[in-house]
Amino acid sequence: MNRKIFILLSFFTVFISLFDIKLIPFYHRLGLDFSNHYGFHHCNLSDQDTIYKIDTNKCSDFENRKYVYPPFMFQLYNWTTWFNSVDGAYYFYLLIHLISFFIIVLIWSEKDKLTILFGLSLYISYPNVFLMERGNSDLLIVLFWSLSYLSFKKMKYFLTGFFLAISMFAKLYPLYSLIVVFPLILCNAKYFKKISLSLVFFSTCILLLSPVLWFEYLFEILPGWSSLVMPPNILAHSLKSLPYFFNAKIIFGIILLSWLLASYKSGVRRENWIWGGALAISTFNNGVSFDYNLVTMFPLFILGFKHFSLHSKSSQSFTYVALLLVVLGSRYFFQLFDFYPILRLYSFGLLLTVIPISIFDLGFEMKRYSNKLKFISLS
């Protein structure tokens, strides 16, 4: 693919995702998810109450919902107590979001000016606008995960474990991401020991901050929340929404295995791809995965743009553009088809499997181990 055409298609896909914004079910009040954090920091707690057991009428959540986030995420939002109105706190949240977004782009663009421009353009893309409309917290996970990669890259292994622990305990789905990067960490005994000790230490500290809340969350809140499965719809991307749950397990298992193989084969040569891809696949096996969670794919998008804008003649660039199109720009054009949500989920599974295979040329690796095996590489 010609370099100019690749760049044009990438930016055009971000542009057409603006049409998808029309599909967001905007509510009368902005920050529906944010109000859950704000409300439970302004509850009238008695000595017998906890955030998971309190009567929700005592809190300021817009819809009197229960608090369903991990205790550590609750603690990360302690700053909301500075504000006497949810609107003021929400606008401060938007400022934090903007700064976090800029830091994420700088980390993954690796100082390439055109890539920085592309990364910043994702700010107006459908998943990010959807996220801001809800006041969702997933960009914090992207930020902490990005900082863990930056620390690893700069050989600050104690900090790597610190940011990995924050990512996993703020929301649990980065556990899938840790599984993917584990072979990369394991390949060197020196930094494996440092990262592991740091991860265990900070994980223990986080649990000890509120052991009672963690017990309630893990054994009372999480089982009910994890059993929820969204029906197939144009605003969500959970593989568990497929007609048969067994399909979801198989597809996500294949995705996870392909990235694990890529992680194992790459070593530290392509740690940026491993770190970015590990986060990109993390939300697809959740029962509730609205499309604002797709901001977890932004590091992979930024990396892919930088790589393929320099190596756009590679056939892999078509796979990258296809992934961009499916994630960012396809809902508006296919919303009239009832089968589209299911087709989209299968497309996600295919593309997220093809990317590590093609980028890391696992087919060629297999040839090295068997001269008789005729493997057609997807690259």
Cα separation of 169 and 72, whole Å? 6
| Predicted local confidence at residue 75, as pLDDT | 95
What does 122-138 look like in DSSP terms, one character per residue? GGGSHHHHHHHHHT-SH
| Whether residue 366 has pLDDT greater than 70 | no
**How many Å apart are CA 239 and CA 250, to the nearest integer?**
10
CA pair distance 132, 356, nearest whole angstrom: 30
Q: Which residue type occupies 372? A: K
Dist. CA 189–CA 33, nearest whole Å:
41
- The model's pLDDT over 244-254, given as tens digits with 9 standing for 90+, comes to 878 888 999 99
Q: How many CB atoms lie within 10 A of CB 354?
A: 17
Question: What share of the chain has pLDDT > 90, as a percent?
Answer: 50
109: pLDDT strictly greater than 70:
yes
| Partners of 290 in beta bridges | 236
Q: Of 225-229, 282-286, 373-377, which has the strongest mean pLDDT?
A: 282-286
Helices and strands in the chain: count of H runs, count of E runs: 19, 0
Calculate mean pLDDT across residues 80-91.
92
Looking at every residue in the chain, the average pLDDT score rounds to 86
Token output for 238: 């959970």
What's the pTM?
0.91
Cα 350 off chain centre by: 18
